[in-house]
Amino acid sequence: MNNCFVLVKELFEEFFALLQARGVVYAPVRVSAQSFSFRKVDSVSEIAFEALRTILPPKKFFYPQQETIITYEGDTIREHEPEIPFQILFGVHPCDLAGFGIMDTIFGAEPADNHYRRRREKSLVIGLSCMPDRHCFCQSMGTECPRGGYDLFVTDIGDEYFFSVGTPAGFELLQSARELVSAATETHRDRYKNFWNTRADSFTNGFSPDNLHSVLDMEWDNEIWTELGQRCLSCGNCTPVCPTCYCFDLVDIASLNGESGERRREWDSCQFSGFASVAGDFNFRPTPVDRLKFWYRHKLHGFDDPYGFKTCVGCGRCTVSCPAGIDDLVDVVKRLQKSRERVSHVTK
């Protein structure tokens, strides 16, 4: 494989200037002692290279919390096509890249969502390696190594950044930086491999994923759901922070005279009480227990429809943002796995 390059860290400023010349650069920025957020950055010093999970995942760049999708005036209906400046997302970790993969599949499935696609196509994504903390469990979800969703992926190998190329657009960017980068040598490759091996051994959080599917199928009626559901506040914090939660609501905003207006799409949460209610005051998921276990199943068991993937990428955001302290996915999975062990032990 020849598509590996290195950049001496001292030259990163100059590489950053090349990014800025192409568009608006967004990267993780420290916003409090413990939290980070993807923000527009104007200088390298603003970038928090040490950041793990940002408060909101970078899905917001392709799928904003609120966006106008249709406008109407008189009897003319128009698709809203906003001017989208070219954006460069720097510092996207493997879990979030896997999240992009899932969002791409959902919004790309026919009929494809061009509101999402337009923003996705006007972007360049540069991934960045990271070291897990006690909440990360991408390893259990099989998303710890970047497999796509990026144009370039940067691994920190000490004195240099190691660049893997994901797309022709990424390659073209490196070509424009050919004064700065050089082809990776054997030594660089060894250090690259060492980094990923060390990282793989650094996970302290996780579970054995092999039986996840069957455990969730079998434990649909487990009392754990009742216990967790009774403590859930239905605040919906766990969904906007998730890199793969894509559910939305569509709302109309009319002008005062009623002659014109727009149709807006807004992030919604399956944890809100009315999410699955229909006419006749009938709610298909009336209690927090119903909603919480639906969410867990969707994340960890995944779709029964043809997509066939789980929709958790192991970023740990839901765990750290749950005010009730119940959204500890790893703990819940371990308890579900344990409860089956216990039963099989008893019936031996």
Ligand X SMILES: Cc1cc2nc3c(=O)[nH]c(=O)nc-3n(C[C@H](O)[C@H](O)[C@H](O)COP(=O)(O)OP(=O)(O)OC[C@H]3O[C@@H](n4cnc5c(N)ncnc54)[C@H](O)[C@@H]3O)c2cc1C
Q: Which does 136 bind (CB under 5 to 8 A by kind): ligand SF4, other proteins, ligand X, none?
A: none
Do 69 and 264 form a contact (C-beta atoms < 8 A)?
yes
Distances from the Cα of 61 to the Cαs of 102, 120, 149, 262, 287, in angstroms?
15, 8, 14, 21, 33
DSSP summary character for residue 112: P
CB of 298 to other proteins, least distance (A): 7
Distances from the Cα of 1 to the Cαs of 83, 162, 185, 186, 306, in angstroms?
38, 14, 11, 12, 33
Residue 210 CA, distance from chain mean position: 22
Kindly identify the residues of this chain, within the stretch 253-312, that bind ligand SF4 according to CB under 6 A.
271, 292, 299, 312
Nearest Cα residue to 293 out of 242, 185, 218: 218
Count CA atoms within 13 Å of residue 277 on its CB side: 11
Task: Give the nearer residue to ligand X in terms of CB position, either 66 or 202.
Answer: 66
Which of 235, 247, 270, 276 is close enough to bind ligand SF4 by CB under 6 A? 235
Q: Which does 252 bind (CB under 5 to 8 A by kind): ligand X, other proteins, ligand SF4, none?
A: other proteins
Residue 237 touches ligand SF4, criterion: CB under 6 A: yes
CB of 249 to ligand SF4, least distance (A): 16
CB of 238 to ligand X, least distance (A): 19
Task: Give the nearer residue to other proteins in terms of CB position, either 46 or 104.
Answer: 104
Task: Give the nearer residue to other proteins in terms of CB position, either 28 or 302.
Answer: 302
Distances from the Cα of 246 to the Cαs of 54, 229, 233, 299, in angstroms?
17, 22, 21, 12
Report the distance separating Cα 116 and Cα 105, nearest Å: 11
Residues forming the site for ligand X (CB under 6 A): 274, 277-281
Residue span binding ligand SF4 (CB under 6 A) among the ranges 29-37, 125-133, 180-188, 233-241: 233-241
Residues forming the site for other proteins (CB under 8 A): 69-70, 72, 75, 77, 79, 106-107, 109-115, 220, 246-252, 254, 258, 261, 263, 265, 268, 270, 275-280, 282, 284-285, 294, 297-298, 301-305
Report the distance separating Cα 185 and Cα 195, nearest Å: 15
Task: Give the nearer residue to ligand X in terms of CB position, either 284 or 307.
Answer: 284
Query: Which residue is it, tokens 């006419």?
Result: 279
Is residue 255 exposed (0-12), middle (13-18) or buried (19+ Cβ within 10 Å)? Answer: exposed
143: tokens are 């998303």
State which amino acid sits at residue 25. Answer: V
Task: Give the nearer residue to other proteins in terms of CB position, either 108 or 158.
Answer: 108
Q: Which sign, positive or negative, has the C-alpha torsion 97, 141, 55, 265?
A: positive
CB of 300 to other proteins, least distance (A): 11
Q: Which does 318 bind (CB under 5 to 8 A by kind): ligand SF4, other proteins, ligand X, none?
A: ligand SF4
CB of 306 to other proteins, least distance (A): 9
Do 165 and 146 form a contact (C-beta atoms < 8 A)?
no
String of contacts with ligand SF4 for each residue 21-60, x by CB under 6 A: ----------------------------------------
Task: Give the nearer residue to other proteins in terms of CB position, either 12 or 107.
Answer: 107
Task: Give the nearer residue to ligand SF4 in terms of CB position, either 176 or 204.
Answer: 204
By CB under 6 A, name the binding residues for ligand SF4.
232-238, 241-244, 271, 292, 299, 312-318, 322-324, 326-327, 329
